[in-house]
Amino acid sequence: MYFDSWTCEALENLPDYFKHILDEVAQINLYKMKENRKHFRKNDYGFEQAMVTYLAEKFIRNIRNLPNNLELGIAETLTKTKLESNKQPDFSLVKKDDGTVIEVMEVKTIIDNNFSWLREDVCKLRELDEVQNKFLLSINLYISRSAYTQTIKRLSKFMENDKNNSLSILCHGLLYRSRHGVQNFQLTYYYYLFKI
């Protein structure tokens, strides 16, 4: 699991312990995946990702010093690409300054899936007077097909059981990619929209 370059830049001013929490879970995943997977259940990934979600959401609930450019900058980036069906984005409009750089492939995958609720949330986000109200975070991770399936199931159950959390989750289709010669691992994008 790793942060996109624009996310890393945007999170530079956040407390180290938040990044430390995510990094610890990432290291556990990498260890299981690369070094000693046979000693762990195949479905552990889903639970760990749910815990990342939970910890991050709790952190965002309590923070009051988010950089001003983070939420509004990302929202502006997504809005400028015009999330409309059957339209190719104009990548020349994507902002690449102020710590809001966004990968072209990432923008394209959002548009290709045309999630209407995301468009609506982005539009609302741009109209907010208080930048702390919402926060968009992108996390990319490598997982297997079975782990992906279990992640979706466990996250759904996690959301149902925690009625008080205000997290919306967008998970879209798998992008096939070989990593270190392992053909059955795929890159999956997760977009977490935190609503405080």
Closest by CA to 3, choosing from 140, 153, 180, is: 140
| pLDDT, tens digit, 9 for 90 and up, residues 136-155 | 333 333 334 454 455 455 54
Pair of tokens at residue 43: 């479905």
Q: How many C-beta atoms lie closer than 10 Å to residue 35's C-beta?
A: 9
189 pLDDT more than 50: no
- 170 near 118, Cβ under 8 Å? yes
Q: How many CA atoms lie within 13 A of 71 on its CB side?
A: 25
- Give the pLDDT mean for 105-129: 41
Closest by CA to 52, choosing from 70, 16, 28, is: 28
pLDDT of the residue at 23:
53
pLDDT of the residue at 153:
56
| pLDDT, tens digit, 9 for 90 and up, residues 33-52 | 444 444 444 444 444 444 44
Range with the poorest average pLDDT among 36-45, 123-132, 163-172: 163-172
- Under the banding of pLDDT at 50, 70 and 90, the label for residue 77 is very low
The amino acid occupying position 167 is L
- Give the pLDDT mean for 122-133: 43
pLDDT of the residue at 38:
46
- Under the banding of pLDDT at 50, 70 and 90, the label for residue 70 is very low
Helix-helix angle 116-127:68-80, to 10 degrees: 130
- Give the pLDDT mean for 87-114: 35
- Give the pLDDT mean for 57-79: 38
pLDDT of the residue at 20:
54
pLDDT greater at residue 11 or residue 64:
11
